[in-house]
Amino acid sequence: MRDQYYDQLDSVVDDLVAMTAAVRTAVLEATDALLDANAEAAESVISGDRDIDQAREIIEERSLHLLATQQPVATDLRQLVATLRMVADLERMGDLSVHIAKVARMRMPDVAVPEPLRPTISRMAEVAEEMVASASRIVAERDVDAARELEAQDDEMDKLRRSLFRALLGDEWDHGVEAAIDIALLGRYYERIGDHSVSMARRVVYLVTGEHPEATA
């Protein structure tokens, strides 16, 4: 029976890693839609969000079943509690990818990002994707060191968003109000994807050490 229990625990982690991969794909496709006015990619992200939502429901159901029937303690309990919180982070990242795809779709056939800001948005998207990929590896390998290193990528994301606001508020901005709103929202969406990745990484630190990283900093 205990072997079956640990198999179920491992299966929950595998499902969590698979969900993270699906979110990473959504981020990549949303960025493709945004920077290349790719309508097919936008629709793929929007329709695919149902699968991410369903993955959350399945993982939650399995985790809650194990909590109710096995009454885990110590690390096993922390794993299931952390999992329930991480699936919420992942679902929100999927939602944010949908928001990006919808901004892209709304401005098609034009590209939503003005050319001068394309490098900044492109880099934000790249950092966001890298952070989701790192979160996936951290969850799969329980890599505490990598989890703590993810904070550095989040610092870069914050700096990129601040540079967007400097451009929006600068005297040289001549792309209109709609574009300014789009860019402000897009910057927020990518930043929040990064924030949720950091949140996942911190939960892994808690899972492995039993201590909240904010308390150990």
pLDDT digits 0-9 by tens, 63-82: 999 999 888 888 889 899 99
> What is the span of the domain harbouring residue 43?
2-216
The 8-class DSSP code of residue 175 comes to S
Average pLDDT over residues 26-31: 97
The mean pLDDT value of the chain amounts to 92
The domain that holds 130 is classified in CATH as: 1.20.58.220
pTM: 0.92
Cα distance between residue 137 and residue 122, in whole Å? 23
State how many domains the chain has.
Answer: 1
Q: How confident is the model at residue 201 (pLDDT cuts 50, 70, 90)?
A: very high
* Whole-number Cα distances in Å, 143 to 30, 103, 126, 201: 28, 35, 22, 9
Give the side-chain half-sphere CA count within 13 A for 36: 11
CB-based contact 44:79 (threshold 8 Å): no
Q: How confident is the model at residue 216 (pLDDT cuts 50, 70, 90)?
A: very low
